[in-house]
Structure 1
Amino acid sequence: MIYFEKEDVLHILLSEEEEAGSVEISPNITVELNEAGEMIGVEILHASEFLKNAILESVQGKLLLEKMAA
């Protein structure tokens, strides 16, 4: 995993294989693929905002489930 602070880009490398293509799965997330079409990496633009929102949503969801169970 490599974080480029100046650009606010997070690159998660799952394999050392050469990238043969990529698919944009949302405006700020690109999945990198090998020749077989398997995921070998993920690039997240505006990573700090993305991670902050993902964590907040996860915590808020957990709190809501706990309230519903009580």
Structure 2
Amino acid sequence: MDKTKMAYFKDEDILHIIISEEKEADSIELSPNITAELNESGELIGIEILEASSFLRDSILESSQAKILKLKKTV
């Protein structure tokens, strides 16, 4: 497997995570705005995230708040 790469397209706000340079044969929508790209064998070769800045912001805030709440409960 090649080294994972990322490409961000600022104008479109799309983050593309490239796991392998293999040709895409299929794709599956994992959730709104997130698509898994598959090779001919059905293996994951990439992920495309639309509205990436909002997705990352929300994911970071959600996981940070969850950790903060857990820390407060243990104190």
How does the TM-score come out when normalised to structure 1?
0.97
Q: What is the CA-CA distance between 1:27 and the residue it aligns to?
A: 1.0
The letter for the 2-side match of 1:54 is S
Give the counterpart of 1:69 among 38, 57, 74: 74
Overall identity of the aligned pairs, in %: 61
- Taking the aligned partners of 2:67 and 2:73, their CA distance within structure 1 comes to 10
The 3-state SS of whatever aligns with 2:16 is: strand
Structure 2 regions of 5+ residues with no counterpart?
Answer: 1-5
Q: What is the CA-CA distance between 1:68 and the residue it aligns to?
A: 1.2
The 3-state SS of whatever aligns with 2:49 is: strand
Q: Aligned-residue CA RMSD in angstroms?
A: 0.5
Count residues with an aligned counterpart. 70
Runs of at least 4 residues of structure 1 off by over 3 A?
none
Give the counterpart of 1:2 among 4, 7, 19: 7
Structure 1 regions of 5+ residues with no counterpart?
Answer: none
The 3-state SS of whatever aligns with 1:40 is: strand
- Show the counterpart of 1:40: 45
